[in-house]
Amino acid sequence: MSGPLIDFDRVSQIYAARDGSPVWALSDVSLRVEAGEFVCLIGPSGCGKSTLIHLLAGFLKPTSGAVRFRGRPLDGPGPDRGVVFQEYALFAWMTARQNVEFGLRMQRVSAPVRRRRALEALDRVGLRHAADRYPHELSGGMRQRVAVARALVVEPEVVLMDEPFAAVDAMTRTTLQEDLLRLWRETGVSVLFVTHNIDEAVFLAQRVVVMGAGPGVIREDLTVDLPYPRDRGSAEFGREYARIAAALARGSRGADQSDGERRAA
C-alpha cells in the first residue's frame, strides 16, 4: 500500500463552550501513522488527544482539514477501526462471549464459526474460562481484556485505545500492557494509544507523540528506539522516560507562558 495508513492533514476541531465561545480542541494538527506502528499520544488534559481518536473512529468530523484512512477520507465509524474505551463500554446484557461475538454477528458470520472465533479471541486474552460470565461478574482488568478481544476479533487494521487501562490498579495494568504488546506483535495491527502516563508510553510505544493544550497541538514526535520486551529498571528506559517528561514539561511551560502573556496583555 502506498502512503500512510492514517493521515491527519492539517486538522482543526472547534466546538462551542457552554457560553458559546469557540474552543480549539485541535489547531492545525498533522500526524501520519504507518501500518503496524504502535503510537502513543500523551499530553495534559484538554490537549485534544481523545479528539484525535474520536476523529479517526468517525465519531466526529473535523472542522477543517482532512482525516484519511488508507488514503480515503473517513465516513463514519466502521469495523476497520476498532476502539477500546476507558470503561463501561461492554454490553452489560451480554456475556463476555456474546460481547466478543457482536462484531462477527454484524458481519453475518454463522453461529458456530462466530462462537469458535470468539472463544479463540477470549483464549488469546486468557479469559476462555470466563466466556459465559456477564461484565458485572468480571474485574476491571478482565473487562478491559474482553473489550480488547471484542475490538480485535473483527480484525481491524488499527485499534484506537482511549486511556484503556486508566481505571485498573497498577499491577493489573502492567499485565494488561504486556498482553497488549503480545497481541500487537501476533496480529500486526496498528495501535493508536492515548495515555497520560509516561511510564506506559515508554513501555508500549515505538513513537510517542507529545501534545500540548489550549489550543491542542502536537509539540514533539519522539521515537522510542528500545527493543521489546522493555525493562522498566534499565538505564535506557529511564533515559527515554526523562526525555518524554522533559518534552511534556517544555510543552506545559510554553502553555503557561502564553497563558501569562495573555493575562498580562
Partner 1 sequence: MTAATDDAAGTGLSTPRHSAADARSDSAAFAEEFRRAHRRGLRRAAWLRALLNVTGILLFLAVWEAVPRLGTWVNPVLLPPPSVVFDTFVPMLLSGEIPANILASLRRAALGFGIATATGVTAGLLTARIGLLHHVSEPILHGFRSVPSIALVPLSVLWFGIGEGSKVALVAWGSFFPIWITTFIGVRDVPAAYLRSAACLGAGRLATLLLVVLPAALPMILAGLRQGIAVSLILLVAAELSGAREGVAYMMSTGHQMFRVDIMLIGLVLLGTFGFIADRLFVALIRRLFPWYTTAS
DSSP 49-61: HHHHHHHHHTSS-
- Quote the least distance from Cβ 12 to partner 1, whole Å: 22
- Quote the least distance from Cβ 224 to partner 1, whole Å: 28
CB neighbours of 106 closer than 8 A, spacing ≥ 6?
79
Q: Rounded CA gap, 258 and 262, in Å?
A: 6
User: What Cα–Cα distance (Å) separates residue 46 from each residue in 89, 135, 200, 255?
Assistant: 22, 30, 19, 12
> Which region, judged by CB under 8 A, interacts with partner 1, from 32-40, 73-81, 188-196, 206-214?
73-81
How many helices (H) and strands (E) the chain has is answered by: 7, 10
- The single residue among 61, 64, 71, 106 that binds partner 1, judged by CB under 8 A, is 106
- The single residue among 81, 124, 143, 230 that binds partner 1, judged by CB under 8 A, is 81
> Which region, judged by CB under 8 A, interacts with partner 1, from 75-83, 116-124, 168-176, 183-191?
75-83
**Contact status: 58 vs partner 1 (CB under 8 A):** yes
- The single residue among 72, 136, 262, 263 that binds partner 1, judged by CB under 8 A, is 136
- The single residue among 55, 67, 89, 224 that binds partner 1, judged by CB under 8 A, is 89
Helix axes 140-152, 170-187, angle to 10 degrees: 10
**Contact status: 15 vs partner 1 (CB under 8 A):** no
**Contact status: 237 vs partner 1 (CB under 8 A):** no
- Quote the least distance from Cβ 50 to partner 1, whole Å: 12
- Quote the least distance from Cβ 140 to partner 1, whole Å: 15
In the block, cell 453461529 appears at: 111
DSSP 116-174: HHHHHHHHHTT-GGGTT--GGGS-HHHHHHHHHHHHHTT--SEEEEESTTTTS-HHHHH
**Contact status: 134 vs partner 1 (CB under 8 A):** yes
Q: Which residues here bind partner 1, judged by CB under 8 A?
A: 57-59, 76-79, 81-83, 85, 88-93, 102-103, 106-107, 134-136, 150-151, 154
